[in-house]
Structure 1
Amino acid sequence: MNLANSTFIDLFAGIGGFHQALSHFGAKCVFASEIDKHASQTYHDNYGIVPVGDITKIDEKDIPAHDILCAGFPCQAFSISGKQKGFDDVRGTLFFDIVRILQYHSPKLILLENVKNLAKHDGGNTLKVILTHLKELGYAVHHQVLNASHFGVPQNRERIYIVGFHHSIKKEHFNFPIGDNNPVCVFDILEKNPTIAPIQRDDVVFKHTYESIFDNEGRKVLPNKPIQIGIVGKGGQGERIYHTDGHAITLSAHGGGIGSKTGLYYINDQIRKLTPRECARLQGFPENFKINPRDAQAYKQFGNSVAIPVLKAILQQI
């Protein structure tokens, strides 16, 4: 499939992780939808496209014809951090807006992303319903859980990816990429002069020791996974401290604790959260990406985003 001559629509677009990956291969966005006004502004600032709002109120006939439908459809209904109501949750039923658009337009390619827990939700029945609907619409469907940490970014972020090929292009088989798992670490993505205040607390406890390991040629050996070395308070979510030789924990749009959304890291003898720019790097956004000026919104947007290097690897396979 020649992506360079393709058009795509970006549903539940967020700040355009799918847009970044597809445009990298020369595909053109002809329609975007995002209900969050702050994310929509960031999308417009970077791509010059104003996403329409609530997709449930958009008639599929008013959406331009397209070759590719991509969607990071809302995951809270399936996430282990939510109440796991699945299709009983209105956010879960938004999948059926994807179905009606596919039914009308029959694009050649579907590319979807959601939380890892979707694969196990309701004993696998939720995923089965999704795959069955896509197959009934004439798609050969493939799915795989992939971790961004295997694709060149130091973030432990497991997500399920669903790829569907319309029967008209006769592609029944597809192998997901496995990633090169090259050694990377949080230190690689740190800003040199960050404007973020360190955490000043009296209840910091370093529970684990970690010293950098070097091979016979003097190169640092990196474990390619998070390295927890301490806690703040009781050590709950957002209260764990990590070493920069390891990977970051999964960025989140929500969560509590003093290190909410990014986790805490021991950097230059101080403890701090990651900055919005560092979060952008963890998701594979380029340095010229325009970040929302409000930190609270920026953290939320990157926590909700898809990991761009994983999408690029999948598209390369396609």
Structure 2
Amino acid sequence: MIKTDKNILSNYNFIDLFAGIGGFHLALKSFGANCVFASEWDKFASTTYYENFGIKPLGDITKINESEIPTHDILCGGFPCQAFSISGKQKGFEDTRGTLFFDIARIVNHHKPKVLFLENVKNLVKHENGKTLEIITNILKELDYEVFTKVLNSSNFGLPQNRERLYIIAFHKSIDSSKFSFPSPTNEPICLGKILENQPENAKVIDRDDIEIYKNYTVSSNLFSDIQLLNKPIQIGKVNKGGQGERIYHPLGHAITLSAHGGGVGSKTGLYLINDKIRKLSPRECARVQGFPESFILNSSDTQTYKQFGNSVSVNVLQHILFEIAKVLNANSKNLIQTTKLEYA
């Protein structure tokens, strides 16, 4: 998580849909924004959210009437990727009934927030040959929003995790968003080794006969202090046949994408050669590679914690995007902000 020490969004309220454990909440709060509503159907994630923010998210958003949601300036959330069944006459967002994007659309149609800040898997760009994203974009335009989309990688924004995600930013047409642009990669040199715990007890160690460390791999220890850190995963071995969850990586590179599911002995976090042992990442290390602060309270269940961070968003990336959003909002309110550099914690 990036140190901001800024209140550039202190005059703005936001709602947190598909809230998970609060990655969006952390990012927006770091700029002073105020959460007025949260929704999350998973009871374990909801508990983690409450323990950290003192807000108990309401449940299934499909069962919450839009009129019951408080007025807000920013709507954010990482909604599931779903196909739309479009047939006959185009009916705008009504065509998305049965998908969770419909719930975003109906809330937007009712409240008309200034900004939508959405996150999804990279695959949404190609989902149904691009049709799904095209429908989403067109519906938001019909609802009077200017839409911006881009795939960004967490590895390029100060986090040692290869995580490509699609970000969708939409400004209501009452806002002049002509100068908005997604942040450029900062490419801060960082490696997984810099955020590891010292021999954590809850990081599974793998000890079996079919582990293979490649004899020809070379990784210079000088990379720890070298600006030429690779900022990507470095595979140095495998377990079994080397399928998904069976690849071994070096801590001088980046972690692979955290996942809520997945198979293999290294499922959810990947496997890493650390202090001459092959192990998974610990729950706290998963929090760190997603940009969550040390003060963040983890779920009491390690199983749930792995799932929660696999489903979560990378806070650093959100903060960089929010900084660009804030420029637009503050320019429109004639309260210009200084474009000072964000500082990494």
TM-score (norm 1): 0.93
Within the candidate set 53, 56, 60, 2:59 is matched to 53
SS of the residue aligned with 2:113? coil
- Corresponding residue number in structure 1 for 2:189: 183
Cα distance, 1:212 vs structure 2: 1.2
The answer on whether the counterparts of 1:212 and 1:221 sit within 8 Å (CA) in structure 2 is: no
Unmatched segments (≥5 aa) in structure 1: 78-85
- Corresponding residue number in structure 1 for 2:206: 199
- Paired with 1:103 and 1:123, the residues of 2 have a C-alpha distance of 27
Q: Which amino acid is 1:110 matched to?
A: L
- Paired with 2:97 and 2:310, the residues of 1 have a C-alpha distance of 17
- Corresponding residue number in structure 1 for 2:47: 41
Q: Which runs of 4+ in 1 moved over 3 A?
A: 217-221
Aligned residues: 307
Cα distance, 1:171 vs structure 2: 1.9
Per-residue CA distance 1:57-111 (angstroms, 9 max, x = gap)? 0000000000000010024x4xxxxxxxx235x9981001000000000000000
Alignment of 1:164-183 (within 5 A): 164-183=170-189
1:5 aligns with 2:11: yes
Within the candidate set 198, 211, 216, 2:219 is matched to 211
Identity score, percent: 63
- Paired with 1:219 and 1:58, the residues of 2 have a C-alpha distance of 52
- Corresponding residue number in structure 2 for 1:104: 110
- Paired with 1:178 and 1:15, the residues of 2 have a C-alpha distance of 27
Q: Which amino acid is 2:156 matched to?
A: H
The answer on whether the counterparts of 1:139 and 1:167 sit within 8 Å (CA) in structure 2 is: yes
Cα distance, 1:124 vs structure 2: 1.1
Unmatched segments (≥5 aa) in structure 2: 1-6, 86-95, 326-345
1:309 aligns with 2:306: no
SS of the residue aligned with 1:46? helix
Q: Which amino acid is 1:302 matched to?
A: F
- Paired with 1:53 and 1:213, the residues of 2 have a C-alpha distance of 48
1:244 aligns with 2:251: yes
Q: Which amino acid is 1:209 matched to?
A: Y
SS of the residue aligned with 2:264? coil
Within the candidate set 275, 282, 301, 1:275 is matched to 282
- Paired with 2:227 and 2:112, the residues of 1 have a C-alpha distance of 50
The answer on whether the counterparts of 1:214 and 1:221 sit within 8 Å (CA) in structure 2 is: no
The answer on whether the counterparts of 1:230 and 1:241 sit within 8 Å (CA) in structure 2 is: yes
The answer on whether the counterparts of 1:74 and 1:91 sit within 8 Å (CA) in structure 2 is: no
Higher RCO by CA contacts (8 Å cutoff, separation 6 or greater): 2
The answer on whether the counterparts of 1:14 and 1:40 sit within 8 Å (CA) in structure 2 is: yes
Cα distance, 1:50 vs structure 2: 0.4
The answer on whether the counterparts of 2:233 and 2:253 sit within 8 Å (CA) in structure 1 is: yes
